[in-house]
Structure 1
Amino acid sequence: MRRTLRLLPLPLCIGLSLAAHGAENRPDEWRLCPIQDAVPAFSDAQQPTGSPATRIQQPTDIEGDQLSGTESNPQFQGNVALRRGDQFLGSRKLTYDSSTGKYVAEGDVRYQDSGMRMVADRAEGDQNADTHNVQNVHYQLMSRRGNGGAEHIEMHGSQGSLYGATYSTCPPEDRRWELRAQRIDVDTDAGTGVARNATLRVGRVPVLYVPWFPFPIDDRRRTGLLSPSIALSGRNGFDYRQPYYINLAPNYDATLTPRLMTSRGLQLGAQFRYLTYTGRGVFDFAFLPNDKLTDRDRQKEIDEGVPEANRRKDNRGFFRFVGNQNINSTWQARANLNWISDPRYLEDFNNNLNGLTPFSVTSDIGIYGHSRYWDAGISADHKQLADYTVNRVFLPYNRLPRAYLRWDQPLTQWFDVGVDAEAVRFQDPVKPGGSRVDLKPFVSMPLQGASWFVTPTLAWRYTGYRLDQGMAPGGGSTTPSRSMPIASVDAGLYFDRNMTWGGETFLNTLEPRLFYLRVPYRDQSGLPLFDTRPLTFSWGQLFRDNRYTGADRQTDANQLTLALTSRFIRQSDGREKLSASIGQIKYFDPSQVTVPGEQPVERGSSAWIADSTWNVNDRWTIGGSYQWDPKFRRQDLASFRTRYLIGDEGIVNLGYRYRRNLLKQVDLSFLYPLNDSWSVVGRYYYSLYRKASSNPLLDQQPKLLEGILGVQWDSCCMAVRLVGRRYIQNRQGDVNSAIQLEIEFKGLGSAGPDTESRLRRAILGYYREDLYLVPPSEVTGSGDDSNPPEITP
């Protein structure tokens, strides 16, 4: 029989109270977990309707095999089921007194909502007083992985206590780890919990005991400890970081990070973040007083002849601000401000797996606009030395300020018109500077059909200067200028045919392209060099109208580029099976414009540039680039790259790079799965280049640039990563070593440094979804990759 009553549900939040630290940037990997329920599904539970927020407006429906008692004190027996919205409560017997609000559910008590499923021996309470008591509870989370139990639960309104509580994301019969607490106090209104006498066990072994700690029980941000980071290195010694998160307001927060380095001292780091409807920003700061490394290596710096201004300071620190602010739908203000205490700061504090310390630290701030036909901005940037072996005078100029405009818009159906304009003030505290204005209006006529295109372009480039005293080359004019026309024609054809290869159908294309460039010679020896240098010769340079970066030099040219590309595109899925390109520039006249130290371009032919990629199959890819100079019969560049995918998770990358008189390197990285649980990771990055120099600091010998070797163990609910690394930490060849151990309890958190994201920087394809992306390589001054919870609007 069935009866409808206004019976309020039991407010339970067991699982949420123990799954406090499960927020991660990347979802946990549960592929090794068997598909099973710690608490089996209830066959008589209804499909959830509505949401927890609308429960109070929905009626409660109760049914059972037998109904006895009175109207005000009904008793249901046999297959009792209470349903309301997303909630279900079942038992063998349910007694409810509507006059007092008291109820008792006995025998096979079952409860389910959109967030969890639980079974208990008995539940009783007072709906009017909103008090509840549940005995011998076992639960399973529905919205996320997690299960556990409690000896009994006492709730009073939004507050309650769980006694003898447990939580784990492991299956019940394979408890790799489990969190146990003698008592957990919960406040659902505040979204907080406090665990007392809590123990983390790995298997049956207790590994961590905490007598008292607070934690959040929902997605609201809460003040408290974050996961620590532990590392060991030859430079820092035992390295322990303990972030403490402070929730200041819904739209701003802070994180304090004390860092103990036994070989160097105690550092304090801090981060402040804010978020508004029109902008956001992050402040980072770190300070280490009396760095022991400074005293330990002071004599070594003196012996090496390091200038005093470039030596380590006693007190070390850095500051960074990154933010943006929308002004309107078109304009935005952006800033990236950085400061370090001395040129060796990044070298000494950065433990990331991302290569050498940068040459300089750049700060920039500006206002930028973007629309359909134009981009514009006004900005300023400043350089700070970050390499102790370099004199400050070799730093690039500061641009204080810089304004630019790029406009390109169709004019009738035949023409495109536009302009590239820039005005810059170059400043430096130790050398003279100047101002530069660069204007380049142009008009083009893009003509095209289904299988061809021709685009003639005519431009005029004017560059004028106002130089400081002492900046004019050779004591010449302080207001030099240059102007010249630039003409080019870019044309190409597209042929295709259907063909069969290896039993599959392909679309084979043939794409010839011509690019003619004509620029008359102008003497530019009287112009300074603020930010200009020759571009590295590559495929993209075949189709540029200038072989220099910056506006201080504009090449003269009478040249024609001939290029040819062919592709084999699999018609079943549109994937390129094979692509190959080859090109060369024919110089009809020698180019007379050069920069100091550059050889002029002679009449004749450039080096041949060839590039090819072959997808042998769905797992194996091979690619290569090659440059051959027929004039000197030598190779200028050679590179080889291959990638092989192993199973569902593994990958091997092998690369070789050679550029004449510059580098010769081999790079091997891999993630090799031994079985479903064990895998080996590593990288061997080695320089084969050898160059003798009278200056020992410039002498280059074959050496290991970076070596990584690690082992990973992954189970259903737990993962362990042990990684050792030996690497060159600066351009002088100083070597550092580090050993990092991370233990991850899936769904709860991890202990140790974030080795997973660091390996991602070293092994392209460490995550399979990153196969076609460039690994992140941001260098941060703190060397700390840990992130506090995201601020959300």
Structure 2
Amino acid sequence: MEMHHLPFKLRALTLAIASAIIAGQPVSKARAENNLSADTEWSCEIASDGSGWQCSVVPLKQGAMKRAPRPVTAPVVSPASKTMTAVSQPEGIRTQLDWVNKSNLSEARCQRLEREEPWCAGTYVEPTRPGKNFKGDPNSAPIIADADESTYQNSIATLQGAVKIRQGNRQLESDEAYLDNEKNFGEFKGNVVFREPGSLIVGDIAQSQLDTGRTEVDNARYVMHESHARGSAEVILRHEDATMDLDDATYTTCPPGDKGWQLSGDSVTLDPSTGYGTARNAVVRIQNLPVFYSPYLYFPIDKRRQSGFLYPTKMGFNDEAGVEFDLPYYWNIAPNYDATFTPRVMTKRGFLLENEFRYLTEKDEGELGVAGLIGGDQLEDENRHYKKDRWFANARHRRQFNDRWMAELDYADASDKDYLDDFGSSLDYSASSPLNQRVMTRYYGGNDYTNWQTKLDVHKKKNMNRTADDPYNKLPQIELRGNWQATDRIQVNYLADYTYFDRADDWNYVKEQPDPGFPSGSKIFESIYNEGYGIKKAVGSRAYFETGMSYPMYTTWGFLKPEVKVRSVNYSLSNLKEKEVMEDLRNSYVGQEFKDGDFTKTPSTTVPAFSLDSGLYFDRFTELFGTDYTHTLEPRMKYLYAPHVKGQEFNPIFDTGNMGFSYSSLWQDNRFSGYDRLADANQVSLGITTRFIQDDGFERMRFGIGQIFHFDDRKVYIANNLGQAGKVPDQPDEDLIAKDSRLRQELLDSTSPIASEFIYNFTRTMSLRQDFVWNSNENRIDNYALTYRYRPSERKTFNMGFRYADRVERFVKDKDGNYIETGRDDDNNPIYQKAKNDLKATDISFAWPIPYTRNWSAMGRWQYDMTNKRNLEELFGVEYASCCYQVRLFWRSYVKSTDNIDHPKDRSGIYLQFVLRGLGSLTGSSGKEYLQGISGYTIREK
């Protein structure tokens, strides 16, 4: 389970400063080796890589002469002595800390930088040195020391001039080093440089109490290459228990010389045993301007989570909430338990508190959440929930019993349908989708020749759309599906599904009307629901069975796949009134006769089917415009037969609908989704695809076109105007009678529309796609989509799209949501005003660097409804991105999909997000989810 990223990611600082400990480790071993007794002596030899001497203490050889004392050549130092004059570091290493400008990088490194962080002018590169690639345990590696001069006198070992002490992949450099054997003390003076892979510390003086590990580094600077973290401290003190005290410490991910942002603290303590740090008088500065202060601050120094305040996740302004601001608090209860408390202030709506608790064990994971307005909703204008308590709650749990068996719970509920639309949630729930209230368990079985799975699912859905029918609930669903490789060629598939469908009594959305509980003209509407009508009122059980056997044959030049299949669906229904159902079917299925004796609450349908799918592969080598291609020609033919079985009109519509038609539809076995309709077919699908493929596998172009030829009229369909009690139109707003008439005509056509797809890849970054469906029987375009995409780099994307779909007219509504009556027909039925309803929309989006700048980018999106001549969404903003921080500021204007299409309400908002790389977001999401609609745009936050 993914846990929170907390605001201060200073574990890199810990690693860098902890490097000072390592400076004590090799020194301690050197001290031990300097502890010569009368029975031991030094044994030195040239190191294998020629970088210096490798020395160790060995027993004194018999007969060897005793050593004479050497003259004193250096002053004796005491642990308390700090009178040495510090020698300044060379400017290159002290100020640049291994930073290399892009112009000095290798070509490969420069290309990688341009691809991953194009706004950076360089990166950190650790120079080549002996031992850099050592892979073993540094603590067990031998010590190699090198210096221009070395002396030993009165328990003091002195190394002078270009001192280098290396152990494994660690290396310590200084101008001078003094090791006091009697006092177990070491001091390193002048140009102190400590390295290990990925980290660097430079300082003036380092002192270490060798027997306890207490180490102090003065005037230190550090860098962690991979995380781009650097900083400084006046003094770094490492205690015997491994805790660290830093005086006047800083931390940033900005390059050397860049003061984009910096965290500083007068006193910082780092405790590796607990994994957290504390800072007193902590200040975050941006361009030297303090923007955040805390007198006492907790922050993590490794991957362990720590309690403390997070940065705000909401900071912005919109019409319905006003100014928004929140300040989450994270509580690290235990390594596998945590909680987040998020108080949120909205100037127009009041105070909202959201809490989330999460847990993770070896076999379980989940979350519990609850949110609510304290004191009720304070928004008075055009708000049906004024002064009402509003809340949201959820629970998610997943249990993995073993490798084959799992179970999960997904439950959510809200006080009203508008809650998520008004307030959203940090718990990953959509404002338009139903809320799941579900318990499910699944088991996987099988072996090398067969695999199967069974599922038990109790799934209730809470409708969160005020202008839509309530969905059916599955209470429960039991499913078994699998396949069996009977022989090398014969494959057997099977599926068994039993589901009980139910839903609330008042499930059928009728219309919106002014809410009588509010003053006239307040523009507050209520949704009207009723119990529905006819066959659509059905609830009950459905049992579906399917089994099939295929014998696929594949070669390099083609394939042939015969398959037989049997499908069966059986019902036991309730909540139906015979008179209503018969009237509904007679009104909906025009031209069909229904006898009163046909009515049944236990309809069943069984349909066998046979298909033969085949295709050929032809290819040739060709050259176009100087480029070699493999040109393919791939004809495909599929025959499908399924007889018509009468009586399917009595089957309810639990989860089934007519599928749209496209090139991929040519090869499907059923023209319906779901199991409530089993399509009849006697048809041949013919199609051909051609491709141009380069030698490296890049597909330059693909074009496919095809059509279905029907030998019989289709008789099975779902009437669009089912459940209409009278002539008053219900949702959706389309003219359902006209839509149904068009559908029936298509079932009589001997050919399907011609479907095609065309994809041309100009380059690997630029493509054009076209989907086209031409109804040759009616000489009209049914569907058309054209999309152009260009994404030359991570920072650059440009998209243009146009979509068209031919649809029947819709009914026009007034501002109160009522249909506009224009007259009466001969039977005195009302005639309503209509308008065009074709889908004709454009979508243009981009994210592109601003010319002549490295760090600035512009982004935007414009969706336009050409049919109704209105803007669906307008978005424009700018982004500044650098190595150490980024800022986004954008404005958005939009209408909701649930608004009255003839009288939509325009909404707008301004959103700001500030991200400090390596530290977190000062403004959290702040509307960044709206940027996801820009195809190819990557939200980069580290």
Is contact 2:489-2:551 (8 Å) kept? Answer: yes
* Partner Cα separation in structure 2 for residue 452 and residue 687 of structure 1: 45
Counterparts in 2 of 1:151 and 1:544: CA distance versus 1, 3 Å: same
Identify which of 388, 408, 413 aligns with 2:483. Answer: 408
Pairing 1:724–2:891 present: yes
Task: Identify the structure with the greater strand proportion.
Answer: 1
Following superposition, the deviation at residue 70 of structure 1 comes to: 3.5
Relative to structure 1, the CA distance from residue 293 to residue 585 in structure 2 (aligned partners, 3 Å threshold; closer, same or farther) is farther
Change (3 A) 1:117 1:86: same
- From 362, 378, 386, the equivalent of 1:277 is 362
Give unmatched runs, 5+ long, in structure 1.
11-26, 302-310, 690-700, 770-785
Structure with larger RCO (C-alpha < 8 A, sep 6+): 1
User: Please, what TM-score do these two structures have when normalized by structure 1?
Assistant: 0.85
CA contact (8 A) 1:432 1:471 kept: no
Label 1:506 to 1:126 Cα distance change in 2 as closer, same or farther (>3 A): same
Give the distance between the partners of 1:435 and 1:586, measured in 2 at CA. Answer: 36
1:768: Cα distance to partner? 10
Q: Secondary structure at the match of 1:373?
A: strand
Aligned-residue identity in percent: 31
> In 2 relative to 1, CA 503–249 (structure 1 residues): closer, same or farther, beyond 3 Å?
same
Q: TM-score when scaled to structure 2?
A: 0.72
RMSD between aligned residues:
3.0
In 2, the alpha carbon distance for the partners of 1:196 and 1:29 equals: 35
Alignment partner of 1:224 out of 308, 311, 315 = 308
Rounded to whole Å, the distance in 1 between the matches of 2:455 and 2:806 is 38
Q: Name the structure 2 match of 1:345.
A: 419
The alpha-carbon distance between structure 1 residues 46 and 647, as it changes in their structure 2 partners (threshold 3 A), is closer
Aligned equivalent of 1:697: none
1:238 to 1:170, Cα distance in 2 relative to 1, 3 A: same
2:666 is paired with a residue whose SS is: helix
| Contact 1:191/1:220 (8 A) holds in 2 | yes
CA distance in 1, matches of 2:779, 2:637: 25
Q: Deviations over 1:61-84 (max 9, x none)?
A: 544333334473322222223333
* 1:628 and 2:774 correspond: yes
- Report the number of matched residues: 722
Give the deviation of 1:578 after TM superposition. 0.8
- What is the match of residue 678 of structure 1? 856
SS in 2 for 1:605: coil
Distance in 2, Cα, partners of 1:556 & 1:282: 47
Cα deviation, residue 655, structure 1: 0.6
> What does residue 613 of structure 2 align with?
490
The residue aligned with 1:655 is 801
Which moved further from structure 2: 311-320 or 443-452?
311-320
**Which of 558, 565, 568 is the aligned partner of 2:692?**
568
Contact 1:147 1:167 in 2 (8 A): yes
Aligned CA distance change for structure 1 residues 159 and 452 (closer, same or farther; 3 Å): closer
Cα distance change, pair 634–72 in 1 and its aligned pair in 2 (3 A): same
Larger radius of gyration: 2
How far does residue 29 in structure 1 lie from its aligned partner after superposition?
5.8
Asked whether the equivalents of residues 463 and 471 of structure 2 are also in contact (C-alpha less than 8 Å), the reply is no
Letter paired with 1:557: A
Once the two structures are superposed, residues 713-769 of structure 1 have per-residue CA deviations (whole angstroms, 9 ceiling, x without a partner) of: 122322211111112234114432221112222222221133695355111111399
Residue 246 (structure 2) aligned to one of 155, 162, 171: 162
Does the CA-based 8 Å contact 2:186-2:207 persist in structure 1?
A: yes
User: Matched residues in 2 for 1:429 and 1:557: separation?
Assistant: 36
Query: Does 1:287 pair with 2:372?
Result: yes
Amino acid paired to 1:5: R
Give the counterpart of 1:549 among 661, 673, 693.
Answer: 673
- Aligned-pair distance for 1:424? 0.6
Q: Is the 8 A contact 1:649 1:768 kept in 2?
A: no
Which residue in 2 is equivalent to 1:378?
456
After superposition, the C-alpha distances for 1:309-358 in whole angstroms (9 at most, x for unaligned) are: xx688222222334432233223223332222211112112399x99941
1:537 to 661, 671, 675: 661
Q: 1:356 to 1:69 in 2, by over 3 A?
A: closer
Query: The residue matched to 1:604 in structure 2 has which SS?
Result: coil
Counterpart CA distance in 1 for 2:912 and 2:312 is 12
**C-alpha separation between the residues in 2 aligned to 1:212 and 1:355?**
35
Q: Could you report, residue by residue, the CA deviation over 1:481-525 in whole angstroms, capped at 9, with x for unpaired residues?
A: 112221222121111111111111111111111122222221212
Corresponding residue to 2:790 among 627, 644, 656: 644
Encode CA deviations 1:120-175: one digit per residue, 9 max, x unaligned: 22222423343333221122223421222222223322223222222222233232
Q: Deviations over 1:411-453 (max 9, x none)?
A: 2234222222211111123155110111122222223332222
Q: Shift of the alpha carbon at 1:236? A: 1.2
Matched letter for residue 346 of structure 1? L
Counterpart code for 1:398: N
Q: Which residues in structure 2 correspond to 1:236-255 (within 5 Å)? A: 236-255=321-340
- In structure 1, the residue matched to 2:933 is 762
Residue 387, structure 1, aligned to residue 465, structure 2: yes
Counting only pairs closer than 5 Å after superposition, residues 491-530 of structure 1 correspond to structure 2 as: 491-523=614-646, 524-530=648-654
State whether residues 369 and 377 of structure 1, in contact with CA within 8 Å, keep that contact through their aligned partners in structure 2.
Answer: yes
33, 39, 47: which one aligns with 2:132: 47
Counterpart of 1:667 in structure 2 is 843
Secondary structure class of the residue paired with 2:188:
strand
SS in 1 for 2:664: helix
Alignment CA distance shift 1:231-1:219 (3 Å):
same
Structure 2 counterpart SS, 1:119: strand
Q: Which runs of 5+ in 2 are unaligned?
A: 1-26, 35-78, 80-113, 506-536, 583-595, 721-739, 808-837
Contact 1:589 1:603 in 2 (8 A): no
The 5-angstrom pairing of residues 584-623 of structure 1 reads 584-597=707-720, 598=740, 599-600=743-744, 601-623=747-769
| Cα distance between partner residues in 2 of 1:468 and 1:142 | 69
Which residue type is aligned with residue 466 of structure 2?
A: Y
User: For 2:32 and 2:388, how far apart are their aligned partners in 1?
Assistant: 71
Aligned equivalents of 1:148 and 1:359: distance in 2?
Answer: 47
Alignment CA distance shift 1:520-1:34 (3 Å): closer
User: CA contact under 8 A between 1:4 and 1:61: conserved in structure 2?
Assistant: no
Following TM superposition, by how much is the alpha carbon of 1:362 offset from its aligned partner in structure 2, in angstroms?
3.0
Task: Report the counterpart of residue 215 of structure 1 in structure 2.
Answer: 299
For 2:402 and 2:667, the matched residues in 1 are separated by 37
| Partner amino acid, structure 1, of 2:452 | W
Is 1:447 the counterpart of 2:553 in the alignment? yes
